[in-house]
Structure 1
Amino acid sequence: MFPHAGASVATYIRLLRGAPAGAAVVRMPGRDLDEAAAAQTRVTAHQVTHGVVEAIGQATSEPLVIWGHSMGTLLALEAVRRLEVAGGLVSTVILSGRDFGDLAPESRHLWTEEELVGYLRGQGGTPEVVLEDRDMREYALATLRADFALAATACWDREAKVDARIVSVHGDADAAPSAEGMHAWLRASRSGGECVRMRGGHFFCWSDPAFLELITACVQGRG
């Protein structure tokens, strides 16, 4: 699982407790660092996905279901492409919370503190106490900026395709991705797929139990 920008591994581990055994979350670089230190340890999307593909290759030969949420969609697709080139088998890739049209390189890592705070408030999911407390806010923004800098190195070719089936998912109250843009993800698969709408906003994954059921169905070959 490739998380959204600024997310912690723990956030997704709690969500995936009810998923089939073997679920794992990719820990993004730049955690546990202040902004200055994180800026000195920049890594690229290529490095992250290469490391994930190597780790998966050593851990299992079973068919995989890979999920990417928001920023994580770009990394998930790149990882699937690399896995398939290396001979790995991915049955399904779940892409949620990001429009197919939003594939241009990121520039959000250059935003001011005020712009980053506004982004977090607009997305929802970040407690206001985090944004009001100086230390917690600085940590949250350093992590977010590091992830945005990583996303700036990822750019998916709109004409590229993977063999894995694609399931694109969005919340019905999420203003960012359009239904058309989410359906367009299916063009990136040679095997087709489906576009699913869930109840909730950008973080519908935590509010609609049907999403965990969807993951389970995909792992069990029913989705």
Structure 2
Amino acid sequence: MTALTGDTPWFRNYRPAPDAPLRLVCLPHAGGAATFYHPVAQALSPRIEVLAVQYPGRQDRREEPAVTDIAVLADTIAEALAPRTDRPYALFGHSMGATVAFEAARRLEAAGHGPAALFVSGRRAPCLDREGDLQPRTDEEVVAEIRALNGTGAELLDDAEVLDMILPALRADYAAVRRYRYSDGPALRCPVTAFTGDSDPKASAADVGAWAGHTGSAFELRVLPGGHFFLVDQQHAVLRTVEHHLTAAAAVAV
């Protein structure tokens, strides 16, 4: 079952849990969509209600222009999420989604309704942002990177019609990552938990551990077996940690 929130196109609720005391808002990777987090909603409901962010330019928002600026994404998501901060909640972002989640958390804290916790996965700390970033620029480079990271099945990339459908979102997302520049500011007040795979070529343990510098609260680094999309195979371990830390952080916040 999918509940589409009527007042905003930004969230998908695959397992509505209106009585859940906690909420987890999940942000996808570059080229990703809200459906990536369908298994998370299944695993956590009804204890935690999961809202999956749907960026424009893909799936049911395919006719909308994709956003090529992480700051704009963060601004819009923070605004759309504000009415849904009626209970303790956390943000979870993978890869590009980790950066968007971080920037949204900064805005939500500044507005006085920040998250109880931030979970980031498969992305180095924003303070290690590197100008140029060596992100793919051409369609060929984007496809080669996705193949290398095992982010999309090879059979999909080999299908010209499917590839034509997903390339616009990939182009936009990689452009957003290339253009992102971290701006110094106050550390987050919420705790941060960072995950990465022990063989992730995009996010070494040292680079992901640097997220510790972005919070004035508790920090934990979890390194799990796998590559860039380790969290698919390690879902149980990741969600067990998420549920534990979100429950603890919410208890402190009350």
| TM-score in terms of structure 2 length | 0.77
Q: CA deviation at 1:151?
A: 3.0
Q: CA deviation at 1:107?
A: 6.8
Match of 1:90 in 2: 115
Match of 2:28 in 1: 3
**Is 2:25 the counterpart of 1:15?**
no
**Is 2:241 the counterpart of 1:218?**
no
Letter in 2 for 1:76: A
Q: CA deviation at 1:169?
A: 0.6
Looking at secondary structure, tell me which structure has more strand per residue. Answer: 2
Structure 1 CA distance, aligned partners of 2:131 and 2:87? Answer: 32
Which runs of structure 2 are paired with 1:106-185 in the superposition (5 Å)? 111-157=137-183, 160-185=186-211
SS in 1 for 2:116: strand
Match of 2:215 in 1: 189
Change (3 A) 1:153 1:176: closer
Residues 99-150 of structure 1: CA distance to partner in whole angstroms, max 9, x if unpaired?
1265246677872221111101111131111111101112222221121233
C-alpha RMSD of matched pairs (Å) = 2.7
Change (3 A) 1:190 1:10: same
1:76 equivalent among 82, 101, 107: 101
Structure 2 CA distance, aligned partners of 1:120 and 1:162? Answer: 31
Counting matched residue pairs gives 221
Change (3 A) 1:122 1:31: same
Change (3 A) 1:181 1:42: closer
Letter in 2 for 1:216: E
Moved more, 123-132 or 12-21: 12-21
Residues 140-170 of structure 1: CA distance to partner in whole angstroms, max 9, x if unpaired?
2222112123334532235641111111110
Q: Is the 8 A contact 1:95 1:166 kept in 2?
A: yes
Structure 1 CA distance, aligned partners of 2:137 and 2:72? Answer: 24
Structure 1 CA distance, aligned partners of 2:101 and 2:119? Answer: 8
Residues 61-108 of structure 1: CA distance to partner in whole angstroms, max 9, x if unpaired?
322211111011111111110010100132211111011265246677
Q: Is the 8 A contact 2:67 2:173 kept in 1?
A: no
Structure 2 CA distance, aligned partners of 1:199 and 1:22? Answer: 27
Structure 1 CA distance, aligned partners of 2:238 and 2:173? Answer: 24
Letter in 2 for 1:47: V
1:30 equivalent among 35, 39, 57: 57
Structure 2 unaligned residues grouped into runs of 5+ = 1-25
Change (3 A) 1:77 1:71: same
Letter in 2 for 1:206: V
Identity of aligned residues (%): 28
SS in 1 for 2:221: strand
Greater RCO structure (CA 8 Å; 6+ sep)? 1
Change (3 A) 1:5 1:14: same
1:49 equivalent among 74, 81, 84: 74
